[in-house]
Each structure stands twice: as structure tokens, then as C-alpha cells.
A = this chain, B = another copy of it.
Amino acid sequence: MQTLDVGLVGLGTVGSGVARILTENGDCVARNAGRRLRLAQVVVRDKTKPRNCQLPDGIVSEDLEKILDDARITVVAQLIGGLEPARTIMRRLLEAGKDVITANKALLAEHGPELFEVARGLHRSIAFEASVAGGVPIVTNISQCLSGNQITSLSGILNGTSNFIVSQMEQTGTEYADAVAEAQQRGYAEADPTMDVDGTDAVQKLAILAQLAFRARVDWHDIPRTGIERLNPVDLKYAAELGYRIKLLAVANLAPAGLELHVSPTLVRIGTPLGEVRGAYNAVNIMGDAVGQVFFHGLGAGQMPTASAVMADLIDTAIGRTQLTFQTLNLWQHEAPVELGDPDLVPGRYYLRLAVDDHPGVLAEIAGVLAQHQISIASVIQHEPPSESDSPGVLLVIMTHTAAEGPMSAAGQAIQNLKSVCGEIIKMRILD
């Protein structure tokens, strides 16, 4: 059986996971790859740092040239985060004739077009299954398994950290800050969880999936996003009462007016596949014109699920499938065949929660504003205020029928300006 030499740049959480599979699970890998994958060289920033994996002697160094100069190493998994030096290292690896595997979605979302161009020019490939949704092999499923379809919509829970936090708030009734602390304690959230909870991470992943599914060339900064930082347990309670859970949902939807893209806390019906995604899991629901609805569910992050995705890419590259796919798809190359739609025209149903003065005529006033904007009401909840309440008003929850984002925002603003409305209106999408 042939042996293929593999290089590894970065030996953090995911890198050590990959090293473990390569060194401990070699027979299984060899069976699926048709050749042995030998971990030939590992490059790290600090060689003296303790690692949680056993490696053969003498293969770890701080010298990238050891990989660049070794012509037997044709495949390299580059598993470091951030934009630099990740970008420069990837360029150098490609220029040295290596096919590269990455798990770095920020790098792809920011520099994908440039790096893919470089790889194509050099007849090399970049594989990136691990960059979106860890253990859910969504990249291959979209770009290969569903390739006979025009995908018409895609909705996903792409950030396990925020899904854990929201699940925690829902199950225990805790406030956002406490749920974040719990997530940090369990290792699901980093010390600074900003990128996870503000939707940046999900938006970057959505930009990659939108390129795969729709060839939409979109700057992730342009995708509208709302995070979960201001999520209030009271909305989780009302949502549950209405038969919904709240999920940080990434949506790409091919509408007549163009491609709708956004990430926001969204009400998802309990009992549907997406509604049942708990804790640190990720899931993606895809609608294809031939296949209908297909749903994928798995761990969104973590050492071994992400290493599993990197290994699939390593094996695909070892076999030569990745190179064929990379050449064929020409990702980020052409002008986008799909235009982004005007966000104001995106239709949707909405959940509104507002505090109002408890006097006659308030509901009529609010319903009137919605009617002026052609928005019809699907349901209303107004509970009697608890007797011990010291707040001046009552909470009102309104679920609308389908309306466009533009009129909905205008109506929201108009309602916000009403004298009888106290505090900020909470507005969230509902997934139909």
C-alpha cells in the first residue's frame, strides 16, 4: 500500500485531534483512503508548549520551511485561526505546490476569493469542510451530493456556542449573562465570546454556504445580522407559549426579488427538525428543487468533530477528489449568477413584544398602525399583569402574517413612537 506524507501547520485543539486520528487510527484511515497517510511534519509557533497528543520523534518544528521544502509532502492541513499569518502561510503553501486543507472560516469569508484565485493559478486546491458546522459535512453535501438540484433555500443553526446559550436560557430560565458564564465554564464559549454571540461567526459561515449553494459572491459584512446578546428570557417564555423556540438562525432564501440572506434570532416551531436542535449542536435544513427538504444535524464544533471534517478533506485530497471538485466548481471565480435581494422586500412573519400602558384603546392604536402598513395580525397575547408587578404597563405579544421587511420596519418605528408604548419594541422573525 502506498504512503502519502501529510504536513500539519498548527497543533491547537483541532490540530491535535487530527494528529491523534492520523497516529492512532491509521488502519481505518488507510482503508478509506486506499493509502497510508503518514504525519511527516508538524509546524507550530511554540515547540515547547505541552500538547495533548503523542507524536513521533523529531517531526515537530517551528520552521515552516521544513514543510515548504519537503517535496514529498503534497498535502497540508493548515489549522491556525485568525487572518494573519494564516493568509500568508496559505499562500506560501500553495506556492510551494501543496494542496491545502483549512478549518478557518474567517480567513475564507475575508480572503476566499483571493486565495482560491491563487490556488487555481497554481493548479492547487483548497478544501474547507471543517470551516462550517464542524461535524456536519455540509460543504460536501451542498457542492457534491445535491449537485443535481437548484437549491432554493437553506436555513441553519451554524453557531453551537450561541445555540448552547439560548438552549440554556430556555431550559433553566436564566438570564443571558448567566448562560454565557455557564457556556464558558463548560468550554463551549471563549473568554471573549463576542464573535459567536453577535452573529459574526454565523454570518461568515453563511457567506461560505451562499457561495457554495447559490454562487453568491457576498461580502460577509453586508449580510444583515442580529446577535443574541440582548435576548430576554421573557421572549423565550412567550415563544414557548406560542409553540416556538428561539434560535440564532442563518437563512439564505432564493426569492424572485433576489437572494435573501440574514442571521438573526428567529422563532422556530417546536417539533420541527430545526426547532429540536439543542445545546452545542449545529443543523442545516436545505430545500432543493428535486430532492425536497434534506436535514443535517451534528456537533457544531469541538476537537474531534472538527478533526473528523479535516480528515475527510485530507482523505479526499489524498485520493484526488478534492482537486476535481475544486477545478470544477470554480468557486468565487465568476460574477455571481445570483443577485442579492433588497432586504426591504424580504417577506417574513414577525414576532413583536412591547410594553404598553394599560389603558383603553392601546391595542386598537397599535393594530391600526399595522393595518396602515398592510400588515395583518395572526395572533395576540396579552396576559393580565401580575398583581405584585411594579412596572407601569402590560406586555403585549403580536405575531404577524407575512409582511415585507421594509413595511415591517416602518410600522415598528411608528409603533415605537406611540406615546402609549414604553421601552423598546422587540422584533424577531418567525421561520415558516
Contact = CB atoms under 8 A, between A and B. Distances in A.
Number of copies: 2
Nearest to A22: B148
Given A28-B150, A32-B147, A147-B33, A290 B319 contact: no
A337 interface: yes
Interface string A325-341: 10111100000010000
Given A325-B319, A329-B32, A296 B299 contact: no
Given A292-B298, A295-B298, A299-B291, A327 B147 contact: no
A146 interface: yes
Contact of A296 (B135, B295, B315): B295
A364 to B, nearest CB: 41
A389 interface: no
Contacts of A327: 34
Interface band, chain A: 35 or more
A278 to B, nearest CB: 10
Contacts of A147: 29, 32-33, 311-312, 315-316
A248 B17 CA distance: 36
B135 A292 contact: yes
User: Top 8 nearest A-B pairs by Cβ distance?
Assistant: A148-B311, A137-B145, A34-B328, A32-B147, A291-B308, A290-B308, A294-B298, A295-B297
27 contacts: A21-B148, A21-B290, A28-B149, A28-B150, A29-B147, A32-B328, A136-B294, A137-B141, A137-B146, A137-B294, A140-B145, A141-B141, A141-B145, A145-B312, A148-B309, A148-B310, A148-B312, A271-B276, A273-B297, A289-B304, A291-B308, A292-B299, A293-B298, A293-B299, A295-B295, A319-B328, A321-B325
Interface of A: 17, 21, 25, 28-29, 31-34, 129, 135-137, 140-141, 143-150, 215, 271, 273, 276, 288-299, 302, 304-305, 307-312, 314-316, 319-321, 324-325, 327-330, 337
